Structures are given as structure tokens and as C-alpha cells.
Amino acid sequence: MKKIFLILIAAMIAFASCSQKDTPAYKRAVVTQKLLKKHRIKIAVTGQWSTPNGKFIWEGAELAANEINEAGGILGAKIELVKFDDNNKVSQGAEVAGKITEDEEICAVIGHYSSSVSLFNSVIYHYYGVLMLTPFSTNTKLTKQSLPYIFRNIPGNDAFAKEAVRLCEQKNWKRVMTLYLNNAYCSELLDSFEQYCGENSIIVPDRVGYEEVYNLSNYMEIAEKWKTNYAFDAIFIAGFLPQAAEIVALFRSEGIDNPIIGSIDFDSSEFFSIADNKNEENFYCVSNFDPNIINAAFCNFKTAFKSKYGEDPNWEATQSYDAVKVLAKAIQKAGSVKREEIAAALKNEEEWNECAGPYRFNENGEIEKALIIKKSSNGEFKLLEE
């Protein structure tokens, strides 16, 4: 993988002296504008399609594109979504980025899910002229790279960590244990959480990392060590399902009944089915998704989604739907599929108030949006009333 990245950088340097008309980005702008005149707009959508969250991601994007096309399209053109499966892996994600950039008719990509994949591919997309809008990757480094065509419609890890620490302050939890999956997203989320803990006189007595493939029995030893050697008020976990929920279930079976806090990755009914703890009310998560929000765009989306797919949308479906809608409106406002003009339209709008809004993009492609705290109740996470 390192070799692929070095080859990419070498190619960029080699082409740096070329005239603007010789660059891949310029060629893409020409091809996509010609395609627009033929009443077509191609947008890539990435995901891990074999998983439950992949299903929701695609359905949200598909519904948005269908609604747009049925209403007459954008600039007289129909949106064509092209599916790419990155398997949430950097190596496969790099292959996907190669396929996307080979297709000069694609003007933008909705994705990726994994922060590791997004960070790696963002440089590739920037060089080859593809605008990137990720609904899921929260690593703060993504929008601090001075890449003007990289956006996300979800707050970064820093915002989620800050809100989790605010909850700890509110509950007077002064000693918080931490557990994290060892990847780019979770390790950065945990670092941000611990930084804010330090700034607010909250002590982290111990932190434990785990790999994507791990031996669950090891956590019996961790549970015993924590119970025997430490006094603590709560546990913060930066991790994905199903592993995080499996560890939570083990901790509970070992007698650790302290409050457990997670980020948006906990915000799923899957958390309760895995951990088999539907009756417990001592779990919390920081989220940007409130299924009961009174927002016309979201209410219409929720009704349409349930009518088409037979179930309520989750936060991932909402995020991907919102991304396609916002991107389409930015193209409409720009009157173009050139990434420079789409990016300007995204940043110049004072407020995007689609189903995941309201929010706005700053100059770095980061959004400014309020987050919420949820608490477990009857097998689901519900808005915490403060």
C-alpha cells in the first residue's frame, strides 16, 4: 500500500510541470461538461454493500437520485449513481479509487465510510479532478489537508469527542476508562476525547486498544483488571459494531455495570440485539441523527423511505440521502459539474437544510452542526432530555 501511495505522489510531481490542459482534472472537467449536455450526470457511491449498513447507505442514495430524476433532474440531466464496493479496506478502497478515476465521466463521489479509506483516497480524487463528499468519515485530518474539493456532511471526531466529555461533566463522571479499535478513525476519536478530558479535569485511569480481529476472552482479563485495580465512573468506547457490542456484553457479564458511552457508531438497534440488553438504560451515544426531529425535509424522506423499502431509515441512510440531495442542489446552483464551481456553491450557501440539516460548510469542507446525546431505553437510543 505504501508503494502505491509513493507511485501516486511521483506521478503528481511528474505532471506538475504540465500545462493545465494536460492535467487529469482539466480533462475530467471537459468530459463531464460534455456529458451534462447529453443530459447525464454520473456520481460514484462507495460502500460495503454486503453489510446491513451498506444496504441502508445505498437505499438512501438511490431514493434521493430517484426523487431528483422523477422531478426532472438537475439542469435537465438525470443523475446516474455508480456503485463501487470498497469493503471498508484501504487496499480495496485504493482499487476502487483507481476505477472511479479511470471513468472520466464521473464528476463526484459519495463516500467513503471508513476514515482510513477516505484519507488515503482523498489525495487521489484531488489529483484526478473528482469532488468528494463523505457522509460518514469523521477523522479531522480529512478536512485539514488543504484539499479544496474534499467535503463531509457529518461533524468530525473533535465535535463528537467534545460532546461526549460534556456529558461526562453533566453527569459528574470524573474517572472514565477508555477502549478503542486500533484504526485511524477510532484512535483519533479517543485521542480527542482524552484531550478534552484533560482540559476538564476528568481522569482516564486506563486505556485499552483492540484489533479488528481479536480474542474476546482477553476482555475477561481486562474486565477483571479494571474491577480489581481501578475505581471509575464510566467507560468510553471508540469502536464499531459488532465488536464494541460484544465487548459491552462481556463486561456486563463480568459485573461491570458502569455507564458506557459511545459515538454515533452505537446508534443502531444492532447494538442491543448483539449485547442482548434491551432493558438496560445505562448506555449513551453521541449522534447527529434524531429520528423524531420535526424537519419537513426529514419527515418527507422518512415517509418515502418507509414506503419504498418497508422500514424506517437509520442514520446512515439519512446521511447518504442528504449527501446526494445537497450535491445535486449545489450542481444546480453552480450550473455546472466542474468541481471548482460545485465546491464554491457548497461553501457559499448560508445553510443547507435538507434532512440531515441544518448545517453549513466552512472553507475546509467541514460542516458546522449541533450534535445530540442519546440514552438507551427499551432497546433503542432516544434523545436525552437535559
Q: Return the exposure string of 203-219: e unless at least 16 CB atoms fall within 10 Å of the residue's CB, then b.
A: ebeebebbeeeeeeeeb
Query: What type of residue sits at position 255?
Result: G
Quote the pTM value. 0.89
The residue that leads in pLDDT, 113 or 183, is 113
Local confidence band at 274 (pLDDT 50, 70, 90 cut-offs): confident
Domain 158-287, second-level architecture: 3-Layer(aba) Sandwich (3.40)
First to last CA, the chain: 47
Model pLDDT, residue 153: 96
Model pLDDT, residue 8: 55
| Mean pLDDT over each residue of the chain, to the nearest integer | 92
**Cβ-based neighbour number of residue 91 at 10 Å:** 13
Q: Mean of the pLDDT values across residues 289-311?
A: 92
Domain ranges of the chain: 2-154+294-368, 158-287
Q: pLDDT per residue over 356-379, tens digit each? A: 989 999 999 999 898 999 999 988
Residue 260 clears pLDDT 80, i.e. is over it: yes
- Within 150-288, strands assigned E span 150-152, 176-181, 207-210, 234-238, 260-262, 283-287
Residues 6+ apart with CB under 8 A from 131: 107, 108, 109, 125, 149, 151, 327, 339, 342, 343
Element (H, E) at 356: none
Residue 176 clears pLDDT 70, i.e. is over it: yes
Model pLDDT, residue 19: 55
Q: Report the C-alpha gap between 194 and 166 in whole angstroms.
A: 12
Say if domain 2-154+294-368 classifies as CATH 3.30.70.20. Answer: no
All cell numbers assigned to 142: 480529512
Domains 2-154+294-368 and 158-287 share a fold: yes
Q: Report the C-alpha gap between 63 and 59 in whole angstroms.
A: 6
Q: Report the C-alpha gap between 206 and 215 in whole angstroms.
A: 20
Q: Report the C-alpha gap between 359 and 210 in whole angstroms.
A: 34
Q: Mean of the pLDDT values across residues 119-123?
A: 96
Local confidence band at 280 (pLDDT 50, 70, 90 cut-offs): confident
Model pLDDT, residue 98: 97
Local confidence band at 79 (pLDDT 50, 70, 90 cut-offs): very high
The residue that leads in pLDDT, 250 or 10, is 250
Local confidence band at 47 (pLDDT 50, 70, 90 cut-offs): very high
Q: Is 386 helix (H, G, I), strand (E, B) or coil?
A: coil
Longest Cα–Cα distance in the chain: 69
Please name the residue ranges forming H helices in 16-86: 24-37, 52-70
In sequence order, the β-bridge partners of residue 210 are 181
Model pLDDT, residue 294: 78
Residue 6 clears pLDDT 50, i.e. is over it: no
Q: Mean of the pLDDT values across residues 264-284?
A: 85
Q: Mean of the pLDDT values across residues 240-244?
A: 89
All cell numbers assigned to 180: 478503542
